[in-house]
Amino acid sequence: MGAIPDVNQAVHKWGGVTLHDVINDRFARKAVEKGADGVIAVAAGAGGHAGTLSPFALVQEIRDWFDGPLILSGAIATGRAILAALAMGADLAYVGSPFIATEEANATNEYKTGIVEGRASDVIYSSFFTGVHGNYLRASILASGLDPDNLPEGDLSKMNFAGGESAKKAWRDIWGSGQGIGVIDKVRSVGDYVALLHTQYEEAKAELRSKTSS
């Protein structure tokens, strides 16, 4: 919704920290200039409103001038991907869509099934639903009676993050999703998924250590 100094100042007054979503280096600079403590680099493949830049390009451009908190978002669904985000220069990895397919998530069973059954090729990038480009599950678009391959452009001047003016609204009917869902094979508890991420992370770190020492 834009970098708003008043929001940052209000949060800072009670000791909070503000992190601002950005899709390119220009927006990152604006966010920090207006008082954000850190930025979330929303790269290509992220769920919901996302950018089109490679995470390599986005992180390295921001890290070239910014040494504050930097979080990377975009198709991160495994412990190996988390390790890669840190290796690129991010402080944290932002994992979103996989947690939709958890037992605790406040999502419909159909949405969870869509995440489990979906692949990267099932994610459609469109501005139609809110006026801003975002990534959505093809199955939910089809279920709403729309053609995911022939969606008109949305109207940026009527940007509406609540879901647009169509009868089928994001995020109620049109489901946001990142491209990393292809590795999500079943609905798990949050605890089980976090444990899996930890195991994968440690295994990837050990494998990388072995490769670099040989």
Residue 169 has what pLDDT? 66
pLDDT per residue as tens digits for the range 129-175: 988 999 999 999 999 999 999 999 987 666 555 544 444 566 688 99
Other CB atoms within a 10 A radius of the CB of residue 185 amount to: 10
What distance separates the 2 farthest-apart alpha carbons in the chain? 59
CA distance 115 to 109: 10
- For strand 70-73 and strand 92-94, is the pairing parallel, antiparallel, or unpaired? parallel
pLDDT per residue as tens digits for the range 74-117: 999 999 999 999 999 999 999 999 999 999 999 999 999 999 99
CA distance 51 to 144: 25
| CA 160 to the chain's CA centroid | 19
Give residues with Cβ within 8 angstroms of 41, minimum separation 6: 22, 28, 55, 58, 59, 62, 70, 71, 72, 73, 74, 90
Q: Could you tell me what percent of the chain has a pLDDT over 90?
A: 85
In Å, how far are 12, 15, 42, 187 from 19, measured between CA atoms? 12, 13, 12, 29
Instruction: Taking each helix axis as running N to C, give the angle between helix 55-63 and helix 25-33, from 0 to 180 degrees, rounded to the nearest 10.
Output: 40
